[in-house]
Amino acid sequence: MNKEIPELYGSMIFSDKVMRKKLPKDMYRALRKTIENGTHLELDVANSVAVAMKEWAVENGATHYTHWFQPMTGFTAEKHDSFISPSGDGEVIMDFSGKELVKGEPDASSFPSGGLRATFEARGYTAWDPTSPAFIKDGTLYIPTAFCSYSGEALDKKTPLLRSMEALNDEAVKMLKLLGNDTVTRVSTTIGPEQEYFLVDKEQYNKRKDLIFCGRTLFGAPAPKGQEMEDHYFGSLKPRVSAYMHDLDVELWKLGIPAKTKHNEVAPAQHELAPVFDTANVAVDHNQLTMEIMKNVAEKHGLVCLLHEKPFEGINGSGKHNNWSLITNDGVNLLNPGRTPAQNIQFLVFLMAVIKAVDDYADLMRISAASAGNDHRLGGNEAPPAIVSVFLGDELTAVLESIENDTYFGKQEKVQLDIGAHVLPHFVKDNTDRNRTSPFAFTGNKFEFRMLGSSASVATPNIVLNTAVAEALAQFYQELEGTKPEDMEKAVHELIKRAIRKHKKIIFNGNGYSDEWIKEAKERGLYNLISTPDCLPQFIADKNVALFTKHHIFTKDEILSRYEILLENYTKTVMIEARTMTEMLTKDFLPALNAYAGETAGHAASKKAFMPKLSTSSEEALIESLTEAYETITRGIKQLSASVAEAAGTEDALKAARLCHADILVKMEALRLAANEAEELIPDSLLPYPTYDQLLFSL
């Protein structure tokens, strides 16, 4: 197998190599131009590509094609059409046209649109994104597409991502030119998303409605062993897990997804996969595919892959780390500290732009990680707090301080004209300590946004980050515009000085998990938006609407619709959980509890009958505890149901979401505790579900 991997790699994508082989030269060149510069694609080129794509797909066993898109459900969507076309004589030919390649018209009316469709056009269409390669999966040719309404409103996550990449490209190239860099014509965002997940046995999974309907356990007494021994992290892989990971890698490699790292994570049954980074657009598609393939491969191994942010209480949940940087068309990473003064100026401007962006739009960054699932993680001392801050490390912080105070970094001398323009020593990469408690950490040549939940689409934080950085660069540009080249160094120095004074409040190199930080962040005036309903209203705040509309990422209507969808999503998720919990407790757990009380009573009675002098006090105590638990849980269910009914009857989406957070989830937590306590009393053989012990330690 091993020697075949280079051959296997990317064998299921319509790659550059295939294009070159299959397309006439002029058509190939026209397509490359579209891919590289985003230029319009003529219909004759599209036709030519369609023919080549179909030929390649059919050769590789495909019978169908689908426009593949990312509606606001957070999942991907597909509708398959076969290539067959009756040729009139009772026979068929395999046919695929340029028109079918570039545009599709799925019935869009059942996808969430947050009211957009009512205001605008009812139909939606999908448009081919030639910058992300088409691929074959399960006998179907998948064509990555953007999904829009007929009047042009984005109904998906790809469209705004592409728009934000364009906005950032525009501002970054403008800035580089101003700084005297004439070689760069394009700047792209790069992303490397690290993906955490859990694996559980499928048979056990199938016995738990909470896992099936909610992706997380709603109760379950902790196993005697959790993650306290720290023996799972980087531990040796169990054979079943190892076989799974191997198959997963192979499936991903076939699709040209560069899966690179795999290891056990902190919690039992938790693992991680990281690919080599790629341009944002491709990396986002790849991450969506990775999540899907993780689940599919698990099925084949009798496993289930859980991507929920918090499948189990009491042990770590799963996140997704969004590693982010900027790369020029000539291959320079703009967040790599340079070796020459000119490179340093460039580096410092872009570094400062990111710091400013995160400070000005910390609320949007928080929103980009907000979901009902991720609320269980953030601030739980296993993931960053809900407060967004930037970690730079001591040395880079000192560099910026030296600029702020006009002192040479390292020498502490007064300087006037210099940007600390001694070449930044190449310390940064090796020395940035691994502060795992920071939500947004500089890690040597990129930033790592660590708030994101494991199931989230990586598109969202990158839409925010790209746009916010584009805005910061635009503002810097205004400040520097008109500066003579010989004065640029001084001007940049002054710019950074002003910017760092204004934005240093967002920089925090300490322990993000500590209570002191929460206090200090408040004093610094940083946002601490604890829950999803706390943070979502910031999405429609004036400054944020202004940001997105200025850079043509979202129209105001698109923002409002997304806001509605996010609120509804949150409420629906919590309501499903509440109903699942009610059902599991009522139909399975309480009967088990009752049965055990009955069994115990029967046992005590026969004991007495057998030998009257024997004491039955421990049975009596047990029955009392079981009965108490029964009553507490029954009462709790009643209260929960009342709250669910209230939320269901609440028209206002924000109010409903707040009810979910402040009332329903609180009642569910109380029920969880009661059920966990009761579970400890009941023998495993009488429990209707597999326990935490079984779920976490049976692989």
Site map for ligand ADP, 332-371, x if CB under 6 A?
Answer: -x--------------------------------------
- Cβ 330 vs Cβ 343: under 8 Å: no
- Residue nearer to ligand ADP on the CB measure, 363 or 448: 448
SS3 (DSSP) at 507: strand
Contact pick of 148, 167, 267, 274 for ligand ADP (by CB under 6 A): 274
The answer to whether residue 321 forms part of the interface with Mg ion (CB under 5 A) is yes
In the complex, least distance from residue 447 CB atom to ligand ADP, rounded to whole angstroms: 9
Minimum CB separation of residue 273 from Mg ion in Å reads 12
Q: Is 449 in the site for ligand ADP (CB under 6 A)?
A: no
Q: Return the structure tokens found at 6.
A: 């280079």
Identify what 325 binds: Mg ion, ligand ADP, none; CB under 5 to 8 Å per kind.
ligand ADP
Which residue stretches of 309-434 are H helix?
Answer: 341-360, 362-368, 394-404, 428-431
Residue 203, both tokens:
């048979």
Indicate the residue whose CB is closest to ligand ADP.
192
User: Rounded to the nearest whole angstrom, what is the least distance from the CB of residue 458 to Mg ion in the complex?
Assistant: 13
* Binding track, positions 165-204, relative to Mg ion; x by CB under 5 A: -----------------------------x----------
CA distance linking residue 544 with residue 549, whole number of Å: 9
How far, CA to CA in Å, does 426 sit from each of 149, 346, 432?
49, 15, 11
Which of 356, 366, 446, 661 touches ligand ADP (CB under 6 A)?
Answer: 446
Restricting to residues 243-262, which ones interact with ligand ADP according to CB under 6 A?
Answer: 261
| Shortest separation between residue 73's beta carbon and ligand ADP, angstroms | 25
Site string for ligand ADP, 373-412 (x = CB under 6 A): ----------------------------------------
Q: Taking each helix axis from N to C terminus, what angle separates 556-584 and 665-681, rounded to the nearest 10 degrees?
A: 30
Residue from 192, 268, 420, 690 touching ligand ADP (CB under 6 A): that is 192
Which residues in the 507-546 window bind ligand ADP by CB under 6 A?
none
Quick one: what does residue 190 bind among ligand ADP, Mg ion, none, with the CB cut-off 5 to 8 Å set by partner type? Answer: ligand ADP
**Angle (deg, nearest 10), helices 542-550 and 459-480:** 80
Is 275 a binding residue for ligand ADP by CB under 6 A? The answer is yes
Helices in 179-272 by DSSP H: which ranges?
A: 202-205, 209-214, 239-254
CB < 8 Å & 24+ apart, contacts of 182-185 = 183/328, 183/330, 184/328, 184/329, 184/330, 184/332, 185/329
Binding residues for Mg ion, rule CB under 5 A, total 2
Q: Which of 5, 212, 276, 541 binds ligand ADP (CB under 6 A)?
A: 276
What is the Cα–Cα distance from 78 to 81, expressed in whole angstroms?
10
- 393 backbone φψ class: left, alpha, beta (φ>0; ψ -120 to 50): left
User: Which partner, ligand ADP, Mg ion, none, binds residue 217 by CB below 5 to 8 Å per kind?
Assistant: none
Q: Where are the alpha helices (DSSP H) in 260-407?
A: 280-300, 341-360, 362-368, 394-404
- The conformation of residue 387, written as its DSSP 8-state character, comes to S
- Structure-token match 């190199």, residue found: 509
Positions in the binding site for ligand ADP (CB under 6 A): 190-192, 194, 261, 274-277, 321, 323-325, 333, 445-446, 448
